[in-house]
Amino acid sequence: MPYTPITRLLIANRGEIAVRIIRTAKEMGIYTIAVYSDVDRLSPHVRLADEAHCIGQANPLESYLSIENIIEACQNSNADAVHPGYGFLSENADFARSVINAGIIFIGPQPDTIELMGDKIKAKAQALESGVPCIPGAFINTLDITEAKKSASDIGYPILVKASAGGGGKGMRSVSSEDQLEQQLTRASSEAKAAFGNPSVFIEKELLGPKHIEVQVMADSHGNVHHLLERDCSIQRRHQKVIEEAPAFSLPHELLQKLRNDATQLAKDCGYLGAGTVEFLVENGNHYFLEMNTRLQVEHPVTELVTGIDLVREQINIAMGHPMSFSQEEVTPLGHAIELRVYAEDSKNGFLPSLGKIVHYERPQGNGVRVDDAIHEGMETLPFYDPMLAKLIVHHQDRPKAIERLKNAIEEYQIHGVETTLRFGIWLTKHPEFLAGSYDIKFIDKSFQPDTVPTQDIPPKVLATFAHFFSMKTEDRPQNSRNSTAWQERKIL
């Protein structure tokens, strides 16, 4: 692959990941181009970019999921590269092909690789071919209930019905007995079709208490494939992660080395390029391939903090044709890092989304504290997009000190106007199972008691702000400085 410079980078995403990519690109001297939906006109990623283009309405199908609109923005801005971030079109092979066909560099793996590893059925077949163990299961592409019952009986209940495309817990159903199978199979298939446009599902044995461990991999066009250690992502609600840690701390070194070796071998065998993540479930000393994410992960900051490697910089350099800037031998853990996803959710009410206006916002600061965000006072949480507001990441020399730092940072973090998962984070940092590292993916379901989550003390000055803000007429309420006409004329096209 010849060296091809990137000078104008379009970020096909929004929120904190767009901000994070823009910052690294600017450090590299690259001109940055943001895209936004109409409701994101005043969002931080739009302000920080050198140029910004509206790509449609609030509904993601009309903006961030519109291949046609994003390609048009690329052409109108003369972008020579696209970074997809995560979510939206980041694992869409058709989008990658459209970018490449338009003569633009796609920062990620080749479309064929995205297609192969994005289909869970095909990915599991590739994993088995590469000698990577998989959970016992049956690849069912039909709603033939007779076939499904036979396969489920052979595997043994409980089982999981899962969508072959996509992730995030959508199209996933737990089935404990045969009399539930038909209904759950139908529901999973319907949900998969609605979420991913693909009704295909498969079934596999449900593990009773596994850990979710993922290995960060990176590959360049010079034949190098390295791992950047692993992350423990076992604390989840609704099959979605809330806490991530690096490196994994409660598994034997020999098992971790197997995970790393299997992840790099799979990446080699599927012709991988760029940053990706190979995910495993680990139970009773055994590990099983779960899926491969062909993109940057939400939790990549914990890996950056414990390796000292900027993953976005590496992605961009690899896309330009450079080899990775590090060798496998140079990847050694530097302390311990923990990330808390700060969702606009009410943990006391089943982690349901919390809609409202952020009236007061104050980030924690200090050594070993990082906040990746794209929010500001006066901003409203919207029902169109993922409820994650920010990521709070801490780093220290060992895990106990990192947990203490996390607790202190949460206490300092002030978000008022909407419910968030910060209070859940305080509860977690005091729980004995978390402190011991003995939790698994069912920890929240088994151990979380909503009524024990502490309430957030609201400082008097914030109460005064609340009272004053809500006493004003809507049209008289102060808006964020990004409303200035000069700023709009300079930045938004």
* Sheet arrangement for strand 159-163: 137-138, 201-205, 159-163, 173-175
CB-based contact 127:134 (threshold 8 Å): yes
Expressed in angstroms, the distance from the first to the final Cα of the chain is 34
CB-based contact 16:391 (threshold 8 Å): yes
- Other Cβ atoms less than 10 A from the Cβ of 284: the count is 8
CA nearest to 40, candidates 88, 81, 7: 88
How far is the C-alpha of 265 from the C-alpha of 75, rounded, in Å?
A: 37
How far is the C-alpha of 211 from the C-alpha of 192, rounded, in Å?
A: 25
How far is the C-alpha of 118 from the C-alpha of 116, rounded, in Å?
A: 6
Residue 8 annotated in active site: no
Cα 43 to chain centroid distance, Å, stands at 20
How far is the C-alpha of 371 from the C-alpha of 366, rounded, in Å?
A: 11
How far is the C-alpha of 206 from the C-alpha of 299, rounded, in Å?
A: 25
CA atoms 433, 435, 440, 441: torsion sign = positive
CA nearest to 371, candidates 391, 386, 343: 391
Structure letter (DSSP) for residue 224: -
Using DSSP's 3-state secondary structure scheme, residue 134 falls into: strand
CB-based contact 86:13 (threshold 8 Å): yes
Tokens of 291: 């899926």
CA nearest to 171, candidates 60, 51, 291: 291
CB-based contact 67:94 (threshold 8 Å): yes
CB-based contact 335:397 (threshold 8 Å): yes
CA nearest to 12, candidates 283, 296, 272: 296
Kind and range of the H or E element at 468? Answer: helix 460-471
Cα 122 to chain centroid distance, Å, stands at 22
Catalytic option among 237, 260, 295, 405: 295
Structure letter (DSSP) for residue 323: P
Catalytic positions, please? Answer: 295
